[in-house]
Structures are given as structure tokens and as C-alpha cells.
């Protein structure tokens, strides 16, 4: 399990190693075809800042060699904001006072139809709060069955499950799972997740191994920028990605590192990362792993997403609603976080075309599941 490997890395020592990198270390990393974790540390270090243009050119080259000039489009559908956790940064925190929503099967189907009218999306991400009693595996399985006729590619972002439950859901049409560790800092993890099932660091961390054991086709992983030192957190993320690739080599992988956005909880970020630093991080991941899907959500502004679409990002959401039923059923319910890019899917696709890129709405078919 990855927990054993992570325990070999001291958070403080890793941070010191990153901050100690020099220009020579960056140049050595940029001269390699295959990077080590130590090379990745150099590329996210302050010493790499003067090399941003070089990193951008290399990132663009690797991205176009592997993905061409395409951006895979997906859309999230929030089906419940009922949650048993107390995450201090999240609008769905169980202590926030608002009406909780759990969409009925009929309402889920209405949302499916509304999304299909919105744009030709074929990649759907089902998102829930973490409340296994009110919206557990049975509820998620039923939701997948409802959505399956409308979409060829179904992913979920829900509470971590057992390997048996992940496998059960793959038999119900599940293609991918997205899960954010949020932070790999064991010591401080519980400061942000004081209660609820999400407070169990080891159970969440082990979820990725359980996904691999269940044969999930695609695993999405990431950290939330704003909690801990971003360079150290993303180094742990890169280490985790490397570990998973070696053990579950048939699986596809994606990474995402969203920056904290305003939410009902009014939590103020501990760490702020600039646009240039976020670009540096994106380039570092592409140079480190040429094949990984790098995703930017609507948390990021339109200008940044347009620019990064040509330099390393390979998938994007568009037209996102982060509240349950937000596309038609409950357009005014509580958002999990505020969206930054409010363009319509058609506007996003038009901007991609003007940059010489193609928005890809469908890149999977149900027949491949067999």
C-alpha cells in the first residue's frame, strides 16, 4: 500500500530538499527524457522560476506528441450535498445550516436531459457529499444506471469505498473515479478534516490502491492548493502517481490541483499560489509524466484556462454547476464552491478553436467496457 511508501518521506525534509534546489538541478532535470522524484522537486522549486519558458515549450511538445491539439470536455453533476464531514474549507460542511438535497431518480434523469441540451457532453462526473447512510453505494449504483443511457463515460467523485464496492460499480457502468487526498501532510490533515469519515487519513489514502485492485479504468487524483505548502504536497502527489503506475499499469490516470475558491465556510487559504506558479506546476507534471491527463476545472478563470490549454492541460469542465440539481431541478441551491469561469460550453469550444485546438466531447464508448 502507498501508505508504507509515503511514511518513508518526511514532510519537513522533503520541503528542505525542494527549497535547496539550484539552477544546475533544474537544468539536469530538463535534459532528461524520464525524470525521478528528485528531478520533479527541482522543477517545482523556486530555482525553476527563471526556466518557465523552457518548461512551457517542453510541456507543449510532450502534450502534443501524446494528445495532439485536443482538449477532452467533461461536466460534473452534483446529485447530493448531504455530507457527514466537517471539512473546514467546504460549503457542504455538516455544520453549515442550509437545506440538504438528495436528488431522486426522476430528478437525476431531468439533470441528464438538461446537460444533453446544454452541449454534446459524453463524459459525466457524478459528485456527492460523503454521507454513506443517506446516499451510499446503492444510491450511487442507481444513479449510474439512470445516467448510463445518456452518457458513454461515467466517473464518480464520492466517499472512498471498499475494493468490492468499486468493482460492483464498474459492473454498473462506472469508468472512472476521482478522489482528492486534499493534502498529504499526515500531521496537519485532521486540522482540516476534524470529524466524519473523511477525517481518516489512512482510509482515504488507501482508496487509490482499492480502485486499482478493483480494475477501475481511470483514476483521478489531486491536492487542494491552499491548505499546505504546495510544492511539498504536489511532490507527494507525483510520488503517489509513480507508485500507482507501477502497480496498476493498465489504469489511466489524471491529476488536478485546484486552487481554493470561496465557499459557505469562509475558510481563508493558508497558502496562495500565483498563476505563474500554477503554470510551473502544470509544466512540471507534464515533463514528469508525458501520458497523464492534466485537468483544469471551472475554478480557474477563462484567460488562464485558454492559455494553459495549449501548454499542457488535456481536459476541462465547462458550464459547471456545483450545486445539486443546478442545471434544471434546483438552480438556486447551495454551491460547493464559487465557479470562476462562467463561459458556456459553446464559448469554451469556440475559444479552443480560435487557438487551433479541438474540443473533444466523446472519447469513449460503452462497447469498450466489454
Lowest mean pLDDT among 69-73, 98-102, 114-118, 299-303: 98-102
Pairing mode, strands 252-256 and 176-182: unpaired
pLDDT at position 308 over 50: yes
* Sign of the torsion angle spanned by Cα atoms 300, 347, 287, 43: negative
Residue 266 has pLDDT above 80, yes or no: no
Tens digit of pLDDT for each residue in 60-95? 999 999 999 999 999 999 999 999 999 998 878 888
Among 101, 102, 107, which Cα is nearest to 147's?
Answer: 107
Three-state SS at 180: strand
Largest CA distance in the chain: 60
* Average pLDDT estimate for 30-38: 96
- What is the predicted pLDDT for the residue at 95? 80
Q: Which of 256, 300, 228 is nearest to 18 (CA)?
A: 228
Q: Does 121 have pLDDT greater than 70?
A: yes
DSSP 303: H
pLDDT of residue 94: 84
As beta bridge partners, residue 360 has 72
pLDDT on residue 332: 62
Locus of grid cell 506528441: 65
Contact of 287 with 30, CB cutoff 8 Å: yes
The whole-number pLDDT of residue 264 equals: 46
- Give the mean pLDDT of 238-262: 94
pLDDT at position 221 over 60: yes
Q: What is the pLDDT of residue 265?
A: 56
Q: How, if at all, do strands 70-80 and 123-128 pair?
A: parallel
Please give the Cα distance from 258 to 271 (Å, whole number).
12
Contact 262, 13 (CB under 8 A): no
Q: What percent of the chain has pLDDT over 90?
A: 88
* Side-chain half-sphere CA neighbours of 37 within 13 A: 18
Mean pLDDT of the chain: 94
Look at residues 153, 159, 189 and name the one whose alpha carbon lies nearest to residue 173.
153
Q: What are phi and psi of 346, to 5 degrees?
A: -65, -40
Amino acid 337: pLDDT: 59
Is the separation of the CB atoms in 274 and 223 below 8 Å? no
As a whole number, mean pLDDT of residues 265-276 equals 86
> Distance between CA 260 and CA 271 in Å, rounded?
9
What angle is formed at CA 221 by the lines to CA 114 and CA 120, rounded to 5 degrees? 25
Give the model's pLDDT for residue 174: 97
| Helix, strand, coil shares, percent, the chain, to 5 | 45, 15, 40
What does pTM read for this prediction? Answer: 0.95
Give mean pLDDT, residues 301-314. Answer: 97
Indicate the pLDDT class of residue 339, thresholds 50, 70 and 90.
Answer: confident
What are the backbone dihedrals phi and psi of residue 120, each rounded to the nearest 5 degrees, phi first?
-80, 45
- Tell me: domain 70-229+252-273+292-369, CATH 3.10.129.10, correct? no
Share above pLDDT 70 across residues of the chain, in percent, rounded to a whole number: 96
Helix (H, G, I), strand (E, B), or coil: what is residue 10? coil
Asked whether the predicted pLDDT for residue 263 surpasses 60, the reply is no
Only one residue has cell 489511466, namely 252
Phi-psi region at 85: left, alpha or beta (left = phi > 0; alpha = psi -120 to 50): beta
Give the residues across from 77 on adjacent strands.
126
Q: Which residues make Cβ contacts (< 8 Å) with residue 141, sequence separation at least 6? A: 168, 169, 172
Beta bridge partners of 127: 78, 157
Alpha-carbon separation of residue 246 from 161, 251, 252, 287 (angstroms) = 22, 10, 12, 18
Q: Is the dihedral of CA 209, 210, 214, 219 positive or negative?
A: negative
Q: Report the distance separating Cα 47 and Cα 303, nearest Å.
A: 26
**CA dist 108 to 69, 144, 160, 307, 325, Å?**
33, 10, 22, 34, 8
Amino acid at each position: 500500500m502507498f501508505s508504507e511508501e509515503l511514511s518513508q518521506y518526511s514532510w519537513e525534509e522533503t520541503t528542505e530538499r525542494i527549497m535547496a534546489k539550484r539552477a544546475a538541478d533544474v537544468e539536469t532535470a530538463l535534459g532528461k527524457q524520464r525524470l525521478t522524484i528528485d528531478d520533479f522537486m527541482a522543477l517545482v522549486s523556486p530555482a525553476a522560476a527563471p526556466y518557465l519558458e523552457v518548461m512551457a515549450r517542453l510541456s507543449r511538445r510532450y502534450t502534443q506528441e501524446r494528445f495532439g491539439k485536443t482538449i477532452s470536455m467533461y461536466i460534473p453533476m452534483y446529485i447530493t450535498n448531504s455530507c457527514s464531514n466537517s471539512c473546514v474549507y467546504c460549503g457542504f460542511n455538516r455544520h453549515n445550516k442550509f437545506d440538504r438535497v438528495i436528488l431522486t431518480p426522476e430528478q437525476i434523469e431531468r439533470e441528464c436531459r438538461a446537460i444533453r441540451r446544454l452541449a454534446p457532453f459524453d463524459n459525466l462526473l457524478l459528485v456527492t457529499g460523503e454521507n454513506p447512510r443517506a446516499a451510499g453505494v446503492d444510491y450511487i449504483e442507481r444513479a449510474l444506471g439512470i445516467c448510463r443511457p445518456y452518457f458513454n463515460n461515467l466517473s464518480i467523485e464520492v466517499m472512498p469505498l471498499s475494493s468490492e464496492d468499486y468493482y460492483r460499480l464498474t459492473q454498473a457502468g462506472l469508468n472512472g473515479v476521482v478522489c482528492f487526498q486534499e493534502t498529504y501532510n499526515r500531521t496537519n490533515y485532521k486540522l482540516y478534516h476534524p470529524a466524519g469519515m473523511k477525517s481518516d487519513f489512512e482510509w482515504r489514502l488507501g482508496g487509490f490502491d482499492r480502485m486499482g485492485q478493483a480494475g477501475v479504468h481511470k483514476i483521478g487524483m489531486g491536492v487542494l492548493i491552499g491548505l499546505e505548502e504546495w510544492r511539498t504536497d504536489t511532490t507527494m502527489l507525483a510520488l503517489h502517481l509513480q507508485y500507482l503506475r507501477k502497480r496498476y499499469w493498465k489504469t489511466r490516470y489524471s491529476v488536478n490541483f485546484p486552487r481554493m475558491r470561496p465557499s459557505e465556510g469562509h475558510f481563508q487559504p493558508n497558502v496562495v499560489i500565483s498563476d505563474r506558479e500554477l503554470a510551473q506546476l502544470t509544466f512540471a507534471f507534464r515533463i514528469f509524466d508525458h501520458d497523464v491527463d492534466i485537468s483544469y476545472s471551472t475554478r480557474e478563470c477563462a484567460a488562464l484556462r485558454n492559455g494553459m490549454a495549449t501548454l499542457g492541460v488535456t481536459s476541462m469542465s465547462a458550464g459547471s454547476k456545483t450545486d445539486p440539481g443546478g442545471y434544471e431541478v434546483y438552480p438556486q441551491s447551495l454551491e460547493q464552491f464559487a465557479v470562476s469561469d462562467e463561459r458556456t460550453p459553446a464559448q469554451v469550444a469556440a475559444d479552443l478553436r480560435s487557438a487551433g485546438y479541438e474540443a473533444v466531447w466523446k472519447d469513449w464508448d460503452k462497447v469498450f467496457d466489454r
